[in-house]
Amino acid sequence: MINGKTLVVVMPAYNAALTLEQTYRELPFDIVDEVILVDDASADGTRAVAHGLGIRHILVHDHNLGYGGNQKTCYRTALALGADIVIMVHPDYQYTPRLIRAMAALLAEDVFDCALGSRILGTGALKGGMPPYKYLSNRLLTLVQNLLVGYKLSEYHTGYRAFSRRVLEELPLERNSNDFIFDNQMLLQIIAHGFSIGEVTCPTRYTAEASSIAGWPVIRYGVGVLLESVKYRLARLGWNGSIYSAD
C-alpha cells in the first residue's frame, strides 16, 4: 500500500514472453499490492512466463480483443480486487517500472486524479530510440489536440498511466473502442469529467521487443486521434450522447 491506499499494477499483454520477466522483476513490491496480467490471446509463451513468475491474477482472452479491450478487462479486474490506485505498465519494458513509486505518490497524496509518464518532457525521446517520424507525429498531434481540447499536455499518446479508483468508476470506458484509440478516448474523457492530470518525465526505451504499431495502423490512429478531438469539441458545444459528455 501507499499512504493507506491499495495499489494494483495491470499489465495488458500480447506476445510479451521475452520482456515480461524483466518488467515484472522491477516492480516495487514494497508498495504494489497486486499484479494483474491480461493475455490477449498471445501466440507465444506469455502466459507460461507469467505463471512461472508466480503472478496471482492471470486472465487469458479466448481471442484477441485488441489493446483497448485488454485494458477494459484489466480495469474491471482491478476494481473488483479493491484497488484505490491502478497503474498500467506495459510488459514489453518500453516504460521503466521504476517510476511507479513517483506516479503512485501523486495520486496517493491526492495531488492528481491521473498521472502520465511522458516521453516528451525533457530531451530523451530521440536519444532513447523513438523513431523521428513518431516523435514528430506525436508532437504535431499533441499540438493540435491541445488546441482543440483546450488543455495542455506534453503528449496524449503515452501508455504509462496511473488512475485513481474514482476515475475508473466514473468514466464510461465500456463505450470506448477496443483498438489503440482507446488510450486517447480515455484521456479525453478524463478531461471532460474535470479530473486533474499530472505528468512525470519518463525515459524512452525503444527496442526490437517493444510493442509498437506501424504502417497503416499508424495512419488510422492519427486520423482517429483528430476525429476524437473534434468529437470532444462538439461535445463541449452541446452534442448530446457523446462518450465525452460529462453528465
Specify the CATH number for the domain of residue 52.
3.90.550.10
Is the pLDDT confidence value at 246 over 70? no
For 53-66, the pLDDT digits (tens) are 999 999 999 999 99
Query: Among residues 148, 176, 152, 153, which one has the least CA distance to residue 233?
Result: 148
Position 243 in a domain:
no
Please report, for residues 119, 122, 168, 237, the alpha-carbon distance to residue 20 in angstroms, rounded to integers and kept in the order given: 21, 27, 25, 44
Q: Is residue 115 part of a domain?
A: yes
Q: Give a yes or no: residue 65 inside a domain.
A: yes
157 has pLDDT over 80 = yes
pLDDT score, position 107: 98
Rounded CA-CA distance 15/83 in Å is 26
Half-sphere exposure of 7 (CA within 13 A, CB side): 25
Predicted local confidence at residue 132, as pLDDT: 87
Mean pLDDT of 155-172: 97
Helices then strands, each counted (H, E), the chain: 8, 7
Confidence of residue 214 (pLDDT cuts 50, 70, 90): low
* Rg of the chain over all Cα atoms, to the nearest angstrom: 17
- Low-confidence winner among 31-45, 112-126, 140-154, 188-202 (lowest mean pLDDT): 112-126
Range of lowest pLDDT (4-8, 125-129, 181-185): 125-129
Domain that holds residue 17: 7-236
Strand order, beta sheet including 161-164? 57-60, 34-39, 7-13, 85-88, 161-164, 114-118, 197-201
In a domain, 242, yes or no: no
Give the model's pLDDT for residue 28: 98
pLDDT at 219: 87
Bridge partners of residue 39, in order along the sequence: 13, 60
How many domains would you assign to the chain? 1
**pTM, to two decimals:** 0.93
Question: All 3 cell numbers of residue 26?
Answer: 522491477
Domain contains 210 = yes
User: Which positions ≥6 away from 241 have C-beta within 8 Å?
Assistant: none
| Structural domain includes residue 209 | yes
Handedness of CA 147, 175, 155, 165 (dihedral sign): positive
Q: Is residue 1 part of a domain?
A: no
Burial 100-119 (b: 16+ CB within 10 A, else e): bbebbbbbbeeebbbbbbbb
Is pLDDT above 60 for 211?
no
Q: What is the mean pLDDT of residues 215-222?
A: 83
The CA distance from 151 to 197, in Å, is 10
Query: Looking at the domain assignment, is residue 103 inside a domain?
Result: yes
